[in-house]
Amino acid sequence: MTEHLTTATIEADPVVPVIHITRDFRATPAQVIRAHVDPELFTQWVGPNYRTVTIDHWDARTGGSWRYFNSGDHDQQAFRGCFHEVSDNRVVQTFTWEGMPESVALETLIVTDLGDGWTRLHAASLTDSFESRDGWLASGMEIGVNDGYAKLDELLTR
C-alpha cells in the first residue's frame, strides 16, 4: 500500500530561490486542476480558514490573468498574476502580492495520477531572491497552504 501525503510538504531548495509544495488528493488530476482554475471552486478552498477570498477578475486560460482579494477581520490583501499555461496536468502562472508589487514569483503546478483514485500535486514557486523566498517561508504560509488543502479535500469529496 502506498503512503499518501495528506499534509503538504513545504521545502526550500538549497540552490535556487524556490519553494516546493507537494500534496496528495483523493481525486482525479482533472478535478485538482479544475479546483485551481475554476473561480467558484478556487474561492471555496484557497487560504487560511479565517480569511475570505473574493475574485476581482479571473481568466483562467493560457494568456489570461487574475486578481483576487483575501480578507480578514481587519484587513484586505490583493494578489494578481498572469496565466502563462493552463493544460490538463499543468498550470504556470505569475503570483504577486500587491503589498510588494516588485516581487513576482513564477509558479508551476503539476498534477500526476498516482492510480487508485489518488493525484499528487507538486507546486514550485520561484521567487526573485533567497530573501523573498525566506520571507515567504517565515510568513506562516504553511497555515494557509494546509488549511486550504484541507478545505480542498472536503470540496473534492462532494
CATH architecture of residue range(s) 9-157 = 2-Layer Sandwich (3.30)
The dihedrals phi and psi of 61, each to the nearest 5 degrees, come to: -150, 160
Q: Are 108 and 129 in contact (CB under 8 A)?
A: no
Residue type at position 31: Q
How many Cβ atoms are within 10 Å of 158's Cβ, its own excluded? 5
Percent of the chain with pLDDT over 70: 99
Supply the mean pLDDT for the chain.
Answer: 94
Query: Could you tell me the pTM of the whole model?
Result: 0.92
Q: Which residues on neighbouring strands pair with residue 81, listed in sequence order?
A: 66
- Per-residue pLDDT at 1 exceeds 70: no
- Mean pLDDT of all residues in 133-156: 92
- Are 25 and 152 contacting, i.e. CB atoms less than 8 angstroms apart? yes
Domain range list for the chain: 9-157
